Amino acid sequence: MSVINPVPPQSVQPQSGSRHITVTIVLACMGVFVSYLPVVGVSVALPVMQQALDASTAGLQWITDAFILPTAALLLTCGMIGDLYGRKKTWLAGLVLFSLGCLVCLTAGGVAQVCVGQALTGVGTAALLPSTLALISHVCPDRHKRARAIALWTASLGLGLTLGPLFNGVIVEHVSWRWIFLPALVIALVTAVVGGVVLTESRSQRERHLDIPGQILAAVAITGLVYGVIEGGSAGWGSAEAVIGFLAAVVALPAFVVVELRSPCPMLDMRLFTSSAFSGAALVMAVTLFAQVGLVFALSEYFGLVHHASTWDIGVRLVALNGFTVVLGPLVGRLMTRTSPGLLLVIGLVVGGIGALCVNLFQASTGTGEAALVIGVLGIGIALAMAPVTTIAMNSLPHRLAGTAGAANSALRQIGSALGPAVFGVILTNRTLDTLPGHLAQSGLSAADQGQVGGLVSHVGIQAGAFLQLKTPEATGQAQSAYGASFTDALHTCALVGGIGMLVAAGIALALIGVRARSAHGTEEATEAVPHPGGVAGAAAAGDVG
């Protein structure tokens, strides 16, 4: 796990002047910006990729999760590698691996190669996220300055999520879908070159060791859970694949906890969760990203398959979902210095939950303006919540453990992000197949046409329903109307899951974090009691070299 113990202001080296601090924050923001370009950008291109690669629903889910799974599984270890060998080196390695993954996707001829490229970009992102937060924490020991820097970091994350679909929309309109990976490749390489010249190195002073057993068990637990969800939805919950996946997760997760509690140098020190604010922030982060990324996946499929929108149109319709994080980022940063981050977090989660539930108003014929309004409400809620929850995690522990909090929350962010497409993809498939016969029966189609449509969608995949062609234009229109109504029913179920999840997260935040502003001294005192002998927390006490 990333352990950041920023030196006190008087100990910072001369090169850590205001100009160096600004450059470091900018490069850290560029790192998180480029790492999030593919997240939604690839999702909105899935309908086009599905046609070009003849991919199934499970295949599309794996294209998304191939990026997120290695990110979630390796975040903590990459943070520890940064402590051992230097955060600048880890940051640069992340950009190189990310670029390599983009290059593999750029030359892909099938789903398998896209998944390999996505996995490489995921490994690069696993190195980038903790190192970017570590770089910021190292040069911003003051909690208020750090909160403003984190707001910029979060805004950069949102900018990547916002611009990714727009970049990809323009590209897919004019050239092959493969070229959607080119902008991220170019930006990552340029950022690496600049950072290699101007960034300074920092690392943990205390000798540490990689937690190999913990890393293996964490990877098995996360991969097994997501694999079980995806295979259960496609092959059946009693299938051997699903059972093996869930069994692996059930065995590996408690084993991971036991190993981490006993390890002299744990990847994730479980004692950190004795801080209620830290635990609350971790749970809220996972649930919020589960809902956000899952809804992006579901809405992208809805606009592409039901509305037959182009990749550009999908990106434009979803721009408000993450765009408000960019627009409101500076404002949220200032508000966090004047009011309680917990209050902003709860307000954001409630607004976001209401916005997600309002997706239930969507019909197959819903116009762009109405959809944009609902998505905008959801986006405002997410914008109000994301920076505060990261700040709360990093400020809920003594300052020397700020990086530990950031890395753990980044890991949970990715776990939630991985489960979102997996769970929502299963919901879309099962709910569409369950409701399609009823809508076909009401469509006016003949029994033979109903059987043909139902069989095609059931055996080929739910994406096939968007391209139905029957013997007459009238029959084709009736079949597509029935399919659109069924898919919209499935979207409503996704909206309920996402909306209720965000409201539950608001309740968790209210109970474990609260809405009262706390002084820096009070927070430090309250969290100083978190035990940290040895391991991750103990290493933090030894200080940084930078």
Q: For the segment 271-313, what is each residue's pLDDT rounded down to a tens digit?
A: 778 888 888 888 998 899 899 888 988 998 899 889 988 878 8
Helix, strand and coil in the chain, % to nearest 5: 80, 0, 20
Are 218 and 289 found together in one domain?
no
Q: Supply the pLDDT for residue 152.
A: 83
pLDDT at 535 over 50: no
Q: Is 190 inside any structural domain? A: yes
Band (409; pLDDT cuts 50, 70, 90): low
Are 232 and 305 found together in one domain?
no
pLDDT at 1 over 70: no
pLDDT at 538 over 70: no
Distances (CA, A) of 397 to 104, 128, 284: 40, 22, 17
Q: How far apart are CA 262 and CA 260, in angstroms?
A: 5
The mean pLDDT of the chain is: 81
Q: Is 252 inside any structural domain? A: yes
pLDDT in tens, 57-75: 677 778 877 887 788 778 7
How is residue 292 written in tokens? 């956000």
User: Where a domain ends, among 224, 250, 266?
Assistant: 266
pLDDT in tens, 244-260: 999 999 999 999 989 98
Choice among 93-102, 224-233, 290-299, 428-437 with the minimum mean pLDDT: 224-233
Are 69 and 126 found together in one domain?
yes
Are 318 and 219 found together in one domain?
no
Select the more confidently predicted residue: 124 or 296: 124
pLDDT at 369 over 90: no
425-450 as b/e: b if 16+ CB within 10 A: bbbbbbbbbebbbebbeebebeeebb
Q: Supply the pLDDT for residue 526.
A: 38
Taking the CA of residue 48 as centre, how many other CA atoms within 13 Å lie in the half-sphere pointing to its CB?
24
pLDDT at 146 over 80: no
Q: The domain spanning residue 522 has which CATH number?
A: 1.20.1250.20
Q: How far apart are CA 62 and CA 314, in angstroms?
A: 20
Q: Are 419 and 292 in contact (CB under 8 A)?
A: no
Are 166 and 282 found together in one domain?
yes
Q: Is 73 inside any structural domain? A: yes
Phi, psi dihedral angles at 72 (to 5 degrees)? -65, -40
Average pLDDT over residues 264-272: 77
Q: What percent of the chain has pLDDT over 70?
A: 87
Q: Supply the pLDDT for residue 401.
A: 56
Q: Is 340 inside any structural domain? A: yes
Q: How far apart are CA 40 and CA 37, in angstroms?
A: 7
Q: Is 508 inside any structural domain? A: yes
Q: Is 68 inside any structural domain? A: yes
- Containing structural domain, residue 246: 212-266
Q: Supply the pLDDT for residue 399.
A: 53
pLDDT in tens, 186-233: 999 999 999 999 888 877 655 567 788 888 898 888 888 878 887 777
How is residue 176 written in tokens? 């092959």
pLDDT in tens, 3-37: 333 333 333 343 456 778 888 899 999 998 998 88
Q: Supply the pLDDT for residue 449.
A: 86
Are 91 and 107 found together in one domain?
yes
Q: Are 519 and 143 in contact (CB under 8 A)?
A: no
Q: How far apart are CA 291 and CA 354, in angstroms?
A: 12
Number of structural domains the chain divides into:
2
Are 241 and 275 found together in one domain?
no
Are 320 and 222 found together in one domain?
no
Q: Is 206 inside any structural domain? A: no
Are 335 and 373 found together in one domain?
yes
pLDDT at 400 over 60: no
Q: Supply the pLDDT for residue 439.
A: 92
Are 301 and 398 found together in one domain?
yes
Q: Is 448 inside any structural domain? A: no
Phi, psi dihedral angles at 544 (to 5 degrees)? -110, 160
Q: Supply the pLDDT for residue 522.
A: 40
Are 352 and 401 found together in one domain?
yes
Highest-scoring range by mean pLDDT, 229-238, 281-290, 500-509: 500-509
Whole-model pTM? 0.75
Are 344 and 394 found together in one domain?
yes
Q: Which of 411, 357, 303 is nearest to 74 (CA)?
A: 411
Q: Are 42 and 399 in contact (CB under 8 A)?
A: no
How is residue 531 written in tokens? 């035990």
